[in-house]
Structure 1
Amino acid sequence: MRSKPRAFLIPAIALSLSVAACQSPNTTPTSSPAAGTTGSATPAAAGGGGGSNVSLTGAGASFPAPLYQRWFSEYNKQNPNVQVSYQSVGSGAGVEQFTQGTVNFGASDTGMKPEEITKVAKGAVLLPMTAGSIVLGYNLPDVKGLKLPRAVYTDIFLGKIKNWNDPRIAQANPGLTLPDRPITVIHRSDGSGTTSVFTQHLSAISPAWKSGPGAGKTVNWPVGVGAKGNEGVTAQLLQSDGAIGYVEYGYAKQQNIPTAALENKSGKFIEPSGETAANALAAVTLPADLQAYIADPEGENSYPIVTYTWIMAYKTYEDPQKAQALKNVLKWSLTEGQKYSEELGYVPLPQPVVTKVQAAVDSIKP
């Protein structure tokens, strides 16, 4: 494998974010909600020096980490009194730390299973905060506009298609000159919600995958090189000629990594975008527990691999200041914070979803 070093700008593995969020519960909101939002008021900026300092810690999914970083940074400009530290450690570790009570909130691309929730002593509130696409990024400098049929990208990750000029790839791309080069598969090495979503999709479209590696935060990959976090997979893609790997769309977008158009359930080749991801989200209605999954969405213009991603908060907090600070951050993120989603490659939540999630935030008690 040849190496092509390129600048890697996304924060690697851990994000340490100094963020402010605290207000007294009696603070009167002064900032305006984002356009089109309703429901609970957006928390006001706390101003410069009033109030006690509060520390919040969180850990979990790397999928939404760039957006969380932006949210917390922007919120910090208005609210300097609470420090929020978020560690991008993967969904599996995020669920574990949240369950053990070593953080104030967790983050997961797959939410939590009922048996996991029962282990949380203080109870759990699952809050979908944003959504995004999982894309297949590739490193072929002279190839643009690659199309991958469902059976083809599944067989690449099964190790059955080993070379870029394989006849099945060539058949789907008659206008492209594909190199005679081995395919290097890049996959996650850690417990990952992104892996869970990707492998659920592969299981939904391929009996061979379902009966083989199957779905989960970790699987036994038939082929490939492992990397930690969306950050690590992105770095490997940048450095490895002939590589293909799955990452959250925002990581590929920020690093200008080409992404394949994937065949969806309707047989159309769809590029990842905010619009095609939103089309996929429209195919599902959030249930009462706010956990919904879309393994293979309907719709001619739906991108085929899309997921919500959740923040996990406790139902009760011993410290009322921490509880109120976290609620303020969450409500700001659901309203004003949504305007940063598209530029970073995420999908702003539809207003009916925002309203449901705000009501869940209100249920958090000190």
Structure 2
Amino acid sequence: MIRKSGRILTAVLTGVLAISLVGCGSQNQSQGQSSTSGTQQADQAVTLTGAGSTFVQPLLLQQVAEYQKSHSNVTINYQGGGSGFGIQHLSDSTIDFGATDAFMTDDQLSKAQGGKVLQLPVALGAVTLSYNVPGIPEHIKISPENLANIYFGKITNWNDPALTKDNPDVKFPDLAIIPIHRSEGSGTTSIFTHYLSAISPDWNTKVGSGTSVDWPNPSGKALGAKGNPGVAGAVKSTSGAIGYIELAYALQNKIPYAYMLNKDGKWVLPSLEGASADAASFQIPDDMRVNIVNGPGAAAYPISGFSWALVYQNQTDKAKGTALVNFLNWALHDGQKLAPTLSYVPLPDNLVARETAMLKTVTSGGQPFLK
């Protein structure tokens, strides 16, 4: 069962996250993790700026709030904006860290002005197909073929026979389908379109996958919205709408979402267990760049993905580098305890160990922050 968060995050999800955090004046040693060298003096203030993924923003907010209980004098400002926004500003070195649900490509990495970028998975979650159709159940079934045809614009009404075939006990209304998609470069879009490309050769050939695609819109009814909060809001306020959003947003906004037919032919709802089962079937390479959609397994939920923190391996500002490495080290260890409360999967211990080793390669003037 998914545990729903008791907190209302909608207001903060649409704007800038600016929370004062405890700094790294004293060495912070989480259970089972390395201590941090080069920490700030207690009276030294440091401000970090990040931007990018709205997929991970609910978890990041909670991690920041918990971190501030035992630390002071580091301020973290985080603006959502979408994964493409985070990648661009990290590449331009106008922020201290980025967050993305679509790993940076070789071409993007080559254009990063600050040198080598490390990509650290910080969250694992599921993408729902959420809808607003009066009079139907909270969870209907949408097959891969039908989903692709909805976004192709070939299935245009909720009472289409293809949908009723999978839901024989549901009386669908005569209501136009309004497909909602992201309007900006989005890692959630990358997860969703990689899934569509995996299950539909036509989609793979004609539309493809990525943070931005040329969305089919033959009926002229498809709509774009910014961020996971924007898509959630558009679905909730538009009769007949369907859209893809991270599970936390569906739960927090009480938006119905669909069963999906996985690779093993099982109907599954998005869940922590389903996302974990999907990820378990993939080998994660040394650079951490992997798409995990449509994995095998009876329990696997097929539209799942990681969110990565983006950091430069060489930190030119020692104080900022210390603060950033300390926070990420905490988030990968103690901070994972917060993941299930917001419907994210805690990262497995073996992956956290590999990422901790990567953090130990982050340096300033050739000196590592973690030992």
**For residues 202-239 of structure 1, what are the alpha-carbon distances to aligned partners after superposition, in whole Å with 9 as ceiling and x for unaligned?**
01110111121211211111131000111100110110
**Residue in 2 that maps onto 1:180:** 174
Note the C-alpha offset of 1:266: 1.0
Q: Which runs of 4+ in 1 moved over 4 A?
A: none
Match of 1:316 in 2: 314
Q: Pick from 191, 195, 216: which aligns with 2:189?
A: 195
User: More deviation in 113-122 or 11-20?
Assistant: 11-20
Counterpart residue number, 1:9: 10
The answer to whether the 8 A contact 1:21-1:325 is kept is no
Q: What percentage of aligned pairs have identical amino acids?
A: 38
Q: Secondary structure at the match of 1:17?
A: strand
- Contact map agreement 2:13 2:229 (CA 8 A) in 1: yes
Q: Which amino acid aligns with 2:169?
A: G
What residue is the counterpart of 1:208 in the other structure?
202
Residue 134 of structure 1 corresponds to: 127
Alpha-carbon contact 2:83-2:185 (below 8 Å) kept: yes
* Equivalent residues, number: 350
Q: Which residue of 1 aligns with 2:287?
A: 289
Task: Deviation per CA, 1:271-317: give whole Å up to 9, x if none.
Answer: 01101111011011211111111132111110001111100001111
2:162 to 161, 168, 179: 168
Q: Within 5 A, what are the aligned runs for 1:39-54?
A: 39-41=33-35, 50-54=42-46
Q: Which residue of 2 aligns with 1:358?
A: 356
In the alignment, does 2:69 pair up with 1:77?
Answer: yes
Q: Distance in 2 between matches of 1:55 and 1:141?
A: 47
Per-residue CA deviation, residues 57-78 of structure 1 (Å, 9 max, x unaligned), is 0011111011111111211122
Which runs of structure 2 are paired with 1:1-366 in the superposition (5 Å)? 9-24=10-25, 27-29=26-28, 32-33=30-31, 38-41=32-35, 50-120=42-112, 121-144=114-137, 145-223=139-217, 224-366=222-364
Q: What code does the residue aligned with 1:103 have?
A: I
The answer on whether the counterparts of 1:98 and 1:312 sit within 8 Å (CA) in structure 2 is yes
Q: Following the alignment from structure 2 to structure 1, what is the Cα–Cα distance between the partners of residues 213 and 111?
A: 24
C-alpha contact 1:12 1:232 (8 A) present in aligned 2: no
Report how far residue 21 of structure 1 moved.
Answer: 4.2
Separation of aligned partners in 1, 2:345 and 2:270: 11
Is the CA contact 1:150–1:263 (under 8 Å) kept in the aligned structure 2?
yes
- Return closer, same or farther for 1:52/1:254 CA change in 2, 3 Å cut-off: same
Pair 66,10 (structure 1): closer, same or farther in 2 beyond 3 Å? farther
Change (3 A) 1:253 1:181: same
**Equivalent residue of 2:150, what SS?**
helix
Q: Deviations over 1:234-271 (max 9, x none)?
A: 11011011110001111111111111000111111110
Provide the rounded CA distance (Å) in 2 between the counterparts of 1:10 and 1:110: 25
Please report how far the alpha carbon of residue 162 of structure 1 lies from its aligned counterpart in structure 2 after TM superposition: 0.6
Per-residue displacement from partner, 1:100-135 (whole Å, max 9, x unpaired)?
000000111111111211222332111100111111
TM-score w.r.t. structure 1 length? 0.91
Aligned-residue offset at 1:200: 1.0
C-alpha separation in 2, matches of 1:271 and 1:164:
20
Shift of 1:19: 3.1
> Which secondary structure does the structure 2 equivalent of 1:244 belong to?
strand
Contact 1:21 1:328 in 2 (8 A): no
SS of residue in 1 equivalent to 2:322: helix
Give the superposition deviation at 1:14.
Answer: 2.7
Residue pair 1:10, 1:66 contacting (<8 A) in 2 also: no
